[in-house]
Structure 1
Amino acid sequence: MTSSNSRAWIAGCALAASVFTLASCTSSGGADGATRPSSAPSSSPTAAGPSERQLTQRAEDALAAVGTGRLFESGAERVTDGVHSEAKLDAGTAYRLSVVCFGSGSAHMTLSPPSAGARSELPCDQSVLRRRITATGRLRLDVDAAGGATGVIAWRIDTV
């Protein structure tokens, strides 16, 4: 009977060792035995920052808050895509261009014709850049990301 007791004892030890091995492989504890939070991604927008839709809404709201006159034209784009827009303005009419970037990094803004303003940096810090423009016809607005900039750029042209 000693051989069946030995077999049962060996089987029991093997089972206990298997359970211990599985438990230690799936444990989230560190070397000191303390548990650490899981590194699984969260679907919550606040964990990874605001969503693109939220950034767009915030940027458009910021422009609406500083809007003067009547809305002529507006838009919003991802910083990585840039803004490349051309508006046909009525010659001799005064307009106000407002541009804002919500995100991180910065972008470079260029207006054409050059008389509409010099190339300028647009920080993605939620500050609104405004320019008064007297139209001579078409206005070309180009905004391109600098470096690894991310977020949303929104722009608005109002008649003054």
Structure 2
Amino acid sequence: MTDGIHSEPTLSKGKTYRLSLACAGRGDARLTFVPTNAGSQAAVPCDKSVVQQRLTAEGPVRIDVDGTSGSTGVIAWQIDAV
């Protein structure tokens, strides 16, 4: 997880989306949205559970997922229109 996920998806302004994120391995990852807004950060346990976050595109969005110190494993993600 040293590389993490760093993406700037093209989303339609004003439309609502659901980001689903799963991590399998050991440790935790941290999900961050930029620009930040309420609920823009979430801890993601690397226990194969799925974390979901709603977001509304009001402009460019950047999604960053980084493993915490000592974390190992893989991260999978998907964005769906709601």
Distance 1:117 1:107 in 2: 16
Question: Is 1:139 the counterpart of 2:61 in the alignment?
Answer: yes
Distance in structure 2 (CA, Å) of the matches to 1:154 and 1:111: 16
Match of 2:12 in 1: 90
Deviations 1:12-69, CA, capped at 9 Å, x for gaps = xxxxxxxxxxxxxxxxxxxxxxxxxxxxxxxxxxxxxxxxxxxxxxxxxxxxxxxxxx
- Where does residue 75 of structure 2 map in the other structure? 153
Indicate yes or no: 2:40 matched with 1:118: yes
How many pairs are equivalent? 82
> What's the CA shift for 1:99?
0.7
- TM-score (normalizing by structure 1): 0.48
In the TM superposition, residue 118 of structure 1 has moved relative to its aligned partner by: 2.7
Structure 2 Cα separation of the partners of residues 143 and 126 of structure 1: 15
Aligned-residue CA RMSD (Å): 1.3
Greater helix percent: which structure?
Answer: 1
Deviation at 1:117, TM superposition (A): 3.0
Give ranges in structure 1 of 5+ residues lacking alignment.
1-78
Alignment correspondent of 2:28:
106
Greater CA radius of gyration, 1 or 2? Answer: 1
How many angstroms does 1:137 deviate by?
A: 2.2
| Aligned partner letter, 1:143 | V
Say which structure, 1 or 2, has more relative contact order (CA 8 Å, 6+ apart).
Answer: 2
Q: Partner residue of 1:56?
A: none
Number of the residue aligned with 1:55: none
Give me the whole-angstrom Cα distance separating, in 1, the residues matched to 2:13 and 2:43: 27
Question: What CA distance in whole angstroms lies between the structure 2 residues aligned with 1:138 and 1:95?
Answer: 13
Which portions of structure 1, spanning 4 or more consecutive aligned residues, are displaced by more than 6 angstroms?
Answer: none
